Structure 1
């Protein structure tokens, strides 16, 4: 199991994201995830950099592989444009770019006024978008008149030597099955064994599994817990709320039901090495290939980025290499 670092566009400024990428590579992390959002989940997070600008900048400051976690290529941005953006990203990174995609959240995709469809239609749109992007990456002119997308006389001229791989996220059986059918890999957050099995049964056996985990390192355990709760209580919301709520205000309202005690045992916080290492054990047991860790609140008192990376470099990553 390899350990990567998760860059949160929702929480950090562009300058901070670039700094964290440099620190991650120096600390021994092996890859980068970067989120793709139009809005943060709540105003406390407070940022939302455009991911394609960030990838271009990251390509100039780090040599680590980069994966979007995840892009929605269906509503807010047409798959023709995502195909061009991904191709350029692959060129800039020397082929070290993977396009992670998913069916999206209303939080980000409703902003153009387009209707937010149900899950089945979103997955149909995702399937067709993959067909469009892969056809464009072949290098010729493309005409496509599908159920959801029209492409007329389109050609991408700036192409990498090898088309980007597409990893598909899955948080339920239908999306996980689709990922196994058409994806080059699988993206998830929790190591849900049912979703992983659905992915593998649908054709994903032998394909890479990527996952993510949030932590809040800090020398003051209770302050770290408060920071995690203030910034990321939305992670504890159940069901499909993350896909259907359309505004940071709505997430703040729903998250008001989440108390610090509700997340105390679900998020590694503070500076206990064993607690941080144990957070990764379920991922190793589930057979995850790469886990990307996100430090919450690196700009908050007691949880600075430099301290987090030193802690993981010196104390956690060596243990995780033994774990894997």
Structure 2
């Protein structure tokens, strides 16, 4: 499978119109895909944003010409009802055939707790996600009204009159062994998040492949996508610090526990050291360095990169890929 290079338009880090301009620029440079974070609270507090992903996607799809656009990552179980998620992405895929996808996951407290007050355990949220995916697929595919009585969600003669023009590619988030297995079992593709390449090789990829095979799928035909942040600057220390905004993603407790105040999240981000940032994110001083870093994660099995641009000069961080893309594909 060919390697795809996508651009993550960080709606938590940049104003929505700035992110839109970045997306248009990234398509012109030659990126294969555009991804948008679907959050309520951001991963940092200082100078942060929190635009709504679905509204932004509509504008981005109209402003671009052919690039694939997806969320990364939508939680379809608490602040959103999965039937409404299904309706939204059916509409987008109907309007923009072959160009729209969705990545789903079990969520983060910072997005769900502020507007629901709820934060179930990891196993329960994973079970809810599986059921939500079932609800979404039924609504996308059924030619008659759907009645569904699940443990977490209910449909009573629900019918989507506006169907997707073709199948909506569904990426499922998998970071731990169980999540990776579930992504293979229930998703079309894997979406994982910045991790040590050795962990990807030894745990994430084998469990994803096993989940796919157990579900009767061929894992070689499924994408192994990863959301990872990058920063490029002539000064390596500045490049590393450029990724600071996202460093709380390297703290496992952020995904597990009820931490939802972005000021508190930022405190965790600010104590992450440079060595950990270099190991799990992409930091480079030039195009050659970016190529080497991307190859490091390709060797771990990633074949679709969702690259979040945290470079001190954002436009430089996009334009440098004119020199990078031909080599990493």
The residue that corresponds to 1:61 in the other structure is 63
Counterpart Cα distance in 2 of 1:41 and 1:293: 16
Shift in alpha-carbon separation, 1:161–1:220, aligned structure 2, 3 A: same
Are 1:94 and 2:88 an aligned pair? no
Q: Which moved more, 1:95-104 or 1:244-253?
A: 244-253
Contact 1:8–1:17 (Cα < 8 Å) also in 2 = yes
Counterpart Cα distance in 2 of 1:90 and 1:118: 32
Residue 120 of structure 1: how far off its partner (Å): 0.8
Paired residue secondary structure (1:156): coil
Counterpart Cα distance in 1 of 2:174 and 2:271: 26
Q: Which moved more, 1:281-290 or 1:117-126?
A: 281-290
Shift in alpha-carbon separation, 1:267–1:95, aligned structure 2, 3 A: closer
Are 1:158 and 2:174 an aligned pair? no
Residue 264 of structure 1: how far off its partner (Å): 4.7
Following superposition of structure 1 onto structure 2, how do residues 288-307 of structure 1 map, counting pairs within 5 Å? 288-297=302-311, 303-307=312-316
The residue that corresponds to 2:328 in the other structure is 320
Paired residue secondary structure (1:43): coil
Counterpart Cα distance in 1 of 2:288 and 2:232: 12
Are 1:81 and 2:81 an aligned pair? no
Are 1:253 and 2:267 an aligned pair? yes
Counterpart Cα distance in 2 of 1:227 and 1:199: 31
Residue 218 of structure 1: how far off its partner (Å): 2.5
Residue 225 of structure 1: how far off its partner (Å): 3.0
Residue 216 of structure 1: how far off its partner (Å): 1.2
The residue that corresponds to 1:233 in the other structure is 247
Counterpart Cα distance in 2 of 1:95 and 1:311: 27
Following superposition of structure 1 onto structure 2, how do residues 205-244 of structure 1 map, counting pairs within 5 Å? 205-206=219-220, 207-229=222-244, 231-237=245-251, 239-244=252-257
Shift in alpha-carbon separation, 1:139–1:111, aligned structure 2, 3 A: farther
Counterpart Cα distance in 2 of 1:265 and 1:210: 18
Residue 23 of structure 1: how far off its partner (Å): 0.7
The residue that corresponds to 1:34 in the other structure is 36
Are 1:268 and 2:271 an aligned pair? no
Residues 77-135 of structure 1: per-residue CA shift (max 9 Å, x gap): 11011011111121232232111100111110112334211111111101111111111
Counterpart Cα distance in 2 of 1:180 and 1:8: 26
Are 1:197 and 2:206 an aligned pair? yes
The residue that corresponds to 1:311 in the other structure is 320
Paired residue secondary structure (2:27): helix
Counterpart Cα distance in 2 of 1:139 and 1:108: 33
Counterpart Cα distance in 2 of 1:108 and 1:316: 34
Return the TM-score normalized by structure 1: 0.90
Please, what is the CA RMSD of the aligned residues? 1.9
Counterpart Cα distance in 2 of 1:261 and 1:45: 25
Return the TM-score normalized by structure 2: 0.89
